[in-house]
Structure 1
Amino acid sequence: MVFDAFRQRLGGIIGGFDAAQSQRRMRGFRASRAHVNTLIAASGETITARARWLVRNNGYAANAVDAFANHVVGDGIKPSSKIADAGQKEELQKLWLAWTDEADAEGLTDFYGIQRRAAREVFLAGEVFLRIRTRRPEDGLTVPMQLQMLPSEMLPMHMNRSLPGAGSIRAGIEFDGIGRRVAYHFLRRHPGDMTDPGLAGETVRVPASEVIHILDPVEAGQLRGVSRFAAAVVKLFTLDLYDDAELERKKTAAMFAMFITSPAPETALDPADEDLEVEPGQVVRLDPGEDVTTPATPDSGSTYEPFQYRTLLQIGAALGVPYGYLTGDTAKGNFSNTRIALIDFRRRISAFQHSVMVYQLCRAVWTRWLDMAVLAGAIELPSYAAERRQYLACDWLPTKWDWIDPAKDASAEILQIEAGLKSRTQAIAERGFDAEQVDREIAAERQREAEMGLDFRRPGSPAQAAGSDDTEDQQADAQDNDTQDDEGEDRKPPRPEEG
């Protein structure tokens, strides 16, 4: 405390940075110096619980989560093996495709559905865990391995202690003496699930080699994830309360129609025999001296929508989701502004795809899956142990994003390929497909069309093979047409004279 007071006094004398001053403007700004792990341990569970509540009860929050997960995963982040042998690659890709339908230990979705659920959990809770479950041969799986998703709440945040030797447990994660993750101490049941009897509070130690921990760390040394809603919870909740208050005010105002005032009622406390009901176009006659008034109910005024708009912009910035995706409102921006927002959003998504989803999830699953496939005899890969690195080489292809005008994008892409600015392989990979597989499918279609006497290609397009009989005939016809156009003035019959 003495040192802090001296440091503040010294800072006031030296000056230089207004952000470090403690004068009038910054007097109430008390920033914590605790490490992010301490802050998450103190507040992480509360933030996650509030984020889950908002997603269940607030339409904006639910929309933001869905928009994030849909853009990160789409139809799936799919692998494209880089094995040189085309036959081995095709066999491997078919085996992977068959296993994706069996990947979920709960049997609720496929591997790409797990990717989407993982992206949602990282957005909601800041992290998620996948436990690799090895299965028996008699289970009948193509590759004896499945994935079990465990939410953030399953790893106790407050489990911290030293272990014999140089190891320790921090936030439920066990480390060795040099800081490597050794194991995770999971609860046997979700602490908030009252439908699961028994085993409350019991933990089980799972080796780190059997666990995939997916999180997007924002600070150096961060052990556990923090919800994306951390910076938006307050505004989302208070805006929800404000909207509810406006709705209640309108509801209350609609309950009052009018008041009738009489100068000298005979019995002031007795109600009238018949209440006066007003209908459209009705002429109402009142007794002498009676007066009709309507209540002056307060209105939300012209500031309601601008206030909401600005608040939702702040919420969108805190969540990293554009206003249009957050609200579903497409009337607030023109094409250029919307495109700029989408480009920035998709760059963020692309960074998350490669640094989190691919690096932490997809690569780990692919490596373990291929090892299990070879060990189980599901596929034969010669010299796998010696050439394992070459066999594991793989590109992960996210789903391509479509713009508002796909025809212009396709034309621009064709121009780039023809100008040598990009290859067909790159263009196909950006669409989330494997170029070799696409080429095989195209070749098979061309062969089938030739056998059946069909050709669905556009005349003169690059898809038609140069030198083919059909192409030569079409070129000859085109030349004939050009010749006829050049000589058309002589060949056209004379026009009859007018008049």
Structure 2
Amino acid sequence: MLASLTAFRRRVGAFIGGFEAGLANRRLRGFQPSRAHLNTLIAVAGPDIVARARWLVRNNGYAANAIESWAGNVVGAGIKPSSLIKDAGVKAAVQELWLSWTDEADAEGFTDFYGLQRRAAREVFIAGEVFFRFRPRRPQDGLTVPLQLQMLPSEMLPLSRNEVMPDGNVIRQGIEFDRVGRRVAYYFLRRHPGDITDPGLAGETVRIPASEIVHVIDPVDAGQLRGVSRFAAGTVKLFLLDQYDDAELDRKKVAAMHALFITTPAPAEPLDAAEGRDDNDERTIDLQPGQITMLEPGEEVQTSAPADSGQTYEPFQYRTLLQVSAALGVPYAYLSNDMLKANYSNSRLALLEFRRRIEAYQHAVIVWQLCRRVWARWMDTAVLAGALDLPRYDDRRREHLACGWLPPKWDWVDPLKDARAEIEQINAGLKSRTQALAERGYDAEQVDAEIAADQARENSLGLSFRSSAASPLFQGEPSNTPAGEQDNANA
């Protein structure tokens, strides 16, 4: 029945025409994509894709460079919170406590909270997802706030766990859902399936409530449950290009090992004193700079002439790496570290496009899924533990949790031009100083407080520095200040 329906649709499509992409003509006859949902594809191929992606990161220089560039641009020194609590004193106390806790956030003790952000960005790039488990601690553990985060790789949540529970809940790819589709729990393995150094029982799982897990994922399809590696679209080309480069390098190495060939009509004649035998019992001659070697009658010397890589090697490498960079979403220069083909204009265009993608990823993935969840849990724990004194916290929880997240600042491509453009936008009312500072990763209130403290200290010490109006940045620029006010300012 299904086959006849498909044949009927093809006949109708061929008769009507319409979308060429839906026809079964000669050029598309072999193009038969899978109609399976992404969850099915991940269940079948997900473990192999992740394993290959991790292999590339460990063994391929381009892959390693791409992921470091991605993590450095997404997180950098950290996406940092700026509490929106209106009371300045309370806000300062919250920010100070948070700063102290970030050094204690990692349950493994390897890094701080911002280092965990970077590791999360790397893992989502490689495996498509990563998990964090909230680990409450005892008061006697001596932490600023009794809470830590444990990072769990995607391999710890088995894709093969699918079943229907007696209460009507459903487990799909290791995630338990209730009857309305809400995530209830995760079934994690007690040990990594590929870690033979862990003496735990292989295959044993533990149920962890969803409230204790942060699932960081960059979803691409509706209804998607688990993540897809960003290397999925570039794995084949990266691997084949790596093999090609290795073969080319090995070919050149073998060719370079043979410098001279000597042919003789009488190979059985005895060797002279300058000759010898190598480990393979092959006849050899040691050559020295400026040496003149007398050959036997009939012997001829031929130099090695290995084939060159040719003029197609560089264009082929460049075009293949362009396809890989497009698949990974990383600019070519960031993937290959090749700056020879870059100029100011195309570098700026590529950088602006890359930054738009990064900003969307920062907001939709790192901030929304990780930072906000951690901030809310940290605030709740701090209040319950008595580390923060926030009156009527239960009634005003939303107000206290309000927070802006400041990504790392973008370095200016042309500092002078970019600074002038920024100042003109502020003077024209197109943006505020608060917005400009937030875009550069700073909190406006903190910056203003530091400026006021600097000015007070300078005045108390009798120091006077050149004003901003005298800076070369503003010399030659028209002033929007009326003449009288300008004279008073100069006075």
TM-score (norm 2): 0.91
Q: What displacement does 1:296 show?
A: 3.5
Superposed, which structure 2 residues align to 1:121-136 within 5 Å? Answer: 121-136=123-138
Q: What displacement does 1:3 show?
A: 2.3
Q: What displacement does 1:266 show?
A: 6.7
The answer to which of 449-458 and 101-110 deviates more is 449-458
Label 1:458 to 1:352 Cα distance change in 2 as closer, same or farther (>3 A). Answer: same
CA distance in 2, matches of 1:437, 1:273: 83
Selected match of 2:371 from 362, 375, 386: 362
CA distance in 2, matches of 1:247, 1:257: 17
The answer to which of 280-289 and 427-436 deviates more is 280-289
Q: Is the 8 A contact 1:257 1:294 kept in 2?
A: yes
CA distance in 1, matches of 2:424, 2:431: 9
Selected match of 1:341 from 347, 350, 374: 350
For structure 2, list consecutive stretches of 5 or more residues without a partner in the other structure.
276-284, 472-480
Instruction: Report whether the alignment pairs 1:16 with 2:31.
Output: no
Selected match of 2:457 from 448, 458, 472: 448
Which one-letter code corresponds to 2:313 in the other structure?
Answer: Y
Superposed, which structure 2 residues align to 1:93-112 within 5 Å? Answer: 93-112=95-114
Which one-letter code corresponds to 1:382 in the other structure?
Answer: P
Per the alignment, residue 190 of structure 1 pairs with 192
Q: What displacement does 1:271 show?
A: 5.3
Superposed, which structure 2 residues align to 1:3-152 within 5 Å? Answer: 3-152=5-154
Per the alignment, residue 422 of structure 2 pairs with 413
Which one-letter code corresponds to 2:184 in the other structure?
Answer: V
Q: What displacement does 1:283 show?
A: 4.7
Per the alignment, residue 436 of structure 2 pairs with 427
Per the alignment, residue 474 of structure 2 pairs with none
Which one-letter code corresponds to 2:143 in the other structure?
Answer: L
Q: What displacement does 1:411 show?
A: 2.5
Q: What displacement does 1:228 show?
A: 0.2
CA distance in 2, matches of 1:398, 1:122: 18
TM-score (norm 1): 0.90
Instruction: Report whether the alignment pairs 1:382 with 2:384.
Output: no
The answer to which of 292-301 and 341-350 deviates more is 292-301
Q: Can you list the C-alpha shifts for 1:100-152, whole angstroms capped at 9, x where unaligned?
A: 11111111111000000000000000000000111111111111111100000
Instruction: Report whether the alignment pairs 1:397 with 2:398.
Output: no
Which one-letter code corresponds to 2:458 in the other structure?
Answer: E
* Superposition CA RMSD, Å: 2.0
**Number of residues of Structure 1 aligned to a counterpart in Structure 2:** 467
Q: Is the 8 A contact 1:131 1:148 kept in 2?
A: yes
* SS of structure 2 residue aligned to 1:124: helix
Q: Can you list the C-alpha shifts for 1:451-480, whole angstroms capped at 9, x where unaligned?
A: 111123436459xxx9xxxx999935xxxx
For structure 1, list consecutive stretches of 5 or more residues without a partner in the other structure.
477-499
Per the alignment, residue 258 of structure 1 pairs with 260
CA distance in 1, matches of 2:436, 2:241: 44
Per the alignment, residue 476 of structure 2 pairs with none
The answer to which of 24-33 and 35-44 deviates more is 24-33
Q: Is the 8 A contact 1:168 1:174 kept in 2?
A: yes
Q: Is the 8 A contact 1:459 1:474 kept in 2?
A: no
Which one-letter code corresponds to 2:18 in the other structure?
Answer: G
CA distance in 2, matches of 1:474, 1:357: 46
* SS of structure 2 residue aligned to 1:205: strand
Selected match of 1:153 from 134, 152, 155: 155
* SS of structure 1 residue aligned to 2:106: coil
The answer to which of 407-416 and 117-126 deviates more is 407-416
Q: Decide which structure has the larger Cα Rg and report it.
A: 1
CA distance in 2, matches of 1:350, 1:86: 29
CA distance in 1, matches of 2:199, 2:271: 60
Which one-letter code corresponds to 2:268 in the other structure?
Answer: T
Q: Can you list the C-alpha shifts for 1:67-94, whole angstroms capped at 9, x where unaligned?
A: 0000000111111111111111111111
Label 1:14 to 1:173 Cα distance change in 2 as closer, same or farther (>3 A). Answer: same
Q: Is the 8 A contact 2:136 2:146 kept in 1?
A: yes
CA distance in 1, matches of 2:12, 2:267: 82
